[in-house]
């Protein structure tokens, strides 16, 4: 069975921690700090791989964890930054990424989407040496990588799609037009998943998709059509296959209206795609009746369809004309930049960071007494340092003063020695104490 949906958990690697180290060698009286930095954690990247057909391989594995960065070492040695974790997905995969509130569309081989960024590494104590702080005895911790669930949806990349009611003859037509081998039987819903075939032309090839039969209410979830209508969103032509003589005695006009209503109800521009009407199973009716029906449909539909053709998969009638009509109706990619009106979706290889917003913070009284400070930059700052280390705590107070947090706390009624909560950590802040 075609697997066109998956939900996976991705976890980028954490950054490595910096190290506290001092150079101690014989005959080197003033060695000083030489703690190296931690390496950056590995990103999680989705890669479009044309060798894959669907998302079935995610049934066996749904959790992906990238490697963490190496810790720094003495002698100014930095931790290693491991290679990104690459996850292959089939062409046509749409990624819903709640981590970054974005969607990505992977169609071309090698196209990438960074869905989880690795944490940055911490700085070693060598980075904190200053003329007034010549022997820093603290270093930064590495930050955790991004993690979360993302959803993958596959939309087949086909040039033309065969649509119609169950048992209209779509699979038989696809088998005769291409080398596809869909299952064919006399009962409805024989086709339970989309089937792709390649239509050979003299100068090019086209991919055709047989979409499982639509029924009334398909766009609202009835039958199989709701699951597979998305697979024809990217087609550039629809071939509406209509049974000339339905075995259930239904009216072909009503059947045609049912399918068209479901396409329009699904949206995504399907109602605006060019059409070819294919009157199938002509071998089951007299030739005169088939020609009269074709003439009636041409008059009824007018310019809303490109052509009306009479076909029979059993005898081969009209198949050559249908193949030629599809090749004519689907323009080469260079002449069709719009791709059926789809707005291009961004990849996640690059992101734009806007300064200012990430540095903001809020100060409010804490329900347990003291004050609570919230803000991404402040929370990252606290997460990087060991608050049990007096040197690290003094450095943290310096940074909080530089960011304006101390000033904001004082404006809110803060007194030296009050408890301050940041990122779930409560500590006593005394910015008036000496910082040396």
Q: Is residue 340 part of a domain?
A: no
Of 268, 303, 335, the last residue of a domain is: 335
Residue pair 124/18 in contact (Cβ under 8 Å)? The answer is: yes
Domain total in the chain:
3
Distance, in Å, from the CA atom of 227 to the CA atom of 211, rounded to the nearest integer, reads 10
**Most distant pair of Cα atoms in the chain: their distance:** 108
**How many Cβ atoms sit within 10 Å of the Cβ of residue 170?**
31
Quote the tokens at residue 198. 């390649």
Q: Is residue 341 part of a domain?
A: no
Residues 401, 366 share a domain: yes
**For residue 427, which phi and psi values (nearest 5 degrees)?**
-145, 160
Residues 278, 255 share a domain: yes
Strand partners, 106: 93
Residues 144, 194 share a domain: no
Q: Is residue 188 part of a domain?
A: yes
Residues 92, 203 share a domain: no
Residues 164, 150 share a domain: no
**For residue 64, which phi and psi values (nearest 5 degrees)?**
-130, 125
Q: What are the residues whose beta carbons fall under 8 Å from the beta carbon of 217, sequence distance 6 or more? A: 223, 262
Please name which of 333, 272, 337, 338 lies closest in space to residue 305, comparing C-alpha atoms: 272
Residues 179, 302 share a domain: yes
Residues 100, 237 share a domain: no
Distance, in Å, from the CA atom of 185 to the CA atom of 50, rounded to the nearest integer, reads 31
Residues 167, 148 share a domain: no
CATH of residue 110: 2.70.210.12
Residue pair 258/163 in contact (Cβ under 8 Å)? The answer is: no
Per-residue pLDDT of the chain (436 residues; tens, 9 = 90+): 567 789 999 999 999 999 999 988 777 666 789 999 999 999 999 999 888 877 888 988 999 999 999 999 998 999 999 999 999 998 888 898 888 888 898 988 889 999 999 999 999 999 999 888 888 999 999 999 999 999 998 887 778 888 888 877 788 888 888 865 544 445 444 445 677 777 888 777 788 888 776 655 444 444 444 556 777 777 888 899 888 888 777 888 888 888 888 888 776 777 888 889 999 888 888 889 989 999 999 988 888 889 889 988 888 888 889 889 988 888 776 544 444 444 445 444 444 444 445 568 888 888 878 888 888 889 899 899 888 898 998 898 888 888 888 888 888 888 887 888 888 888 777 766 544 4
Q: What are the residues whose beta carbons fall under 8 Å from the beta carbon of 363, sequence distance 6 or more? A: 371, 372, 373, 405, 408, 409, 411, 412
Residues 289, 200 share a domain: yes
Residues 307, 208 share a domain: yes
Which residue range is the domain that position 95 belongs to?
1-154
Q: Is residue 125 part of a domain?
A: yes
Q: Is residue 433 part of a domain?
A: no
Residues 326, 214 share a domain: yes
Q: Is residue 69 part of a domain?
A: yes
């Amino acid at each position: 069975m075609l697997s066109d949906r998956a939900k996976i958990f991705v976890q980028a690697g954490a950054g490595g921690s910096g190290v506290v180290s001092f150079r101690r060698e014989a005959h080197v009286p003033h060695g000083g700090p030489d703690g190296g930095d931690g390496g950056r954690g590995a990103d999680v990247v989705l890669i479009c791989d044309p060798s894959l057909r669907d998302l079935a391989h995610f049934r066996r594995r749904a959790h992906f964890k990238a490697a963490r960065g190496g810790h720094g070492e003495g002698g100014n040695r930095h931790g290693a930054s491991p290679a990104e974790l690459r996850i292959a997905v089939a062409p046509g995969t749409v990624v819903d990424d709640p981590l970054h509130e974005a969607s990505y569309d992977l169609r071309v081989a090698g196209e990438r989407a960074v869905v989880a960024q690795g944490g940055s590494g911490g700085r070693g104590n060598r980075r904190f040496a200053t003329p007034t702080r010549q022997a820093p005895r603290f270093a930064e911790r590495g930050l955790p990588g991004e993690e979360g669930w993302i959803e993958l949806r596959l939309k087949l990349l086909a040039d033309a799609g065969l649509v119609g009611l169950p048992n209209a003859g779509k699979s038989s037509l696809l088998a005769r037009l291409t080398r596809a081998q869909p299952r064919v039987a006399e009962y409805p819903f024989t086709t339970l998943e989309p089937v792709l075939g390649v239509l050979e032309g003299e100068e090019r090839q086209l991919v055709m998709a047989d979409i499982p039969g639509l029924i009334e209410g398909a766009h609202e979830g009835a039958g199989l059509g709701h699951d597979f209508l998305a697979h024809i969103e990217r087609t550039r032509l629809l071939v509406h296959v209509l049974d000339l003589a339905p075995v259930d005695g239904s009216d072909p006009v009503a059947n045609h209206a049912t399918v068209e209503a479901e396409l329009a109800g699904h949206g995504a521009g399907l109602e605006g795609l060019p059409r070819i009407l294919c009157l199938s199973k002509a071998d089951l009716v007299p030739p005169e009746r088939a020609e009269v029906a074709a003439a009636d449909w041409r008059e009824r539909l007018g310019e809303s369809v490109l052509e009306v053709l009479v076909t029979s998969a059993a005898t081969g009638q009209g198949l050559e004309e249908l193949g030629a009509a599809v090749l004519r109706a689907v323009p080469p990619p260079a002449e069709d930049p719009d791709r059926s009106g789809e707005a291009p979706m961004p990849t996640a290889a690059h992101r734009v960071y806007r300064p200012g917003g990430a540095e903001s913070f809020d100060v409010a009284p804490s329900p347990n007494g003291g004050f609570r400070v919230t803000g991404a930059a402040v929370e990252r700052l606290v997460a990087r340092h060991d608050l049990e280390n007096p040197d690290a705590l003094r450095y943290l107070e310096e940074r909080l003063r530089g960011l304006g947090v101390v000033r904001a706390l004082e404006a809110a009624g803060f007194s030296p020695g009050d408890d301050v909560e940041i990122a779930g950590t409560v500590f006593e802040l005394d910015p008036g104490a000496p910082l040396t």
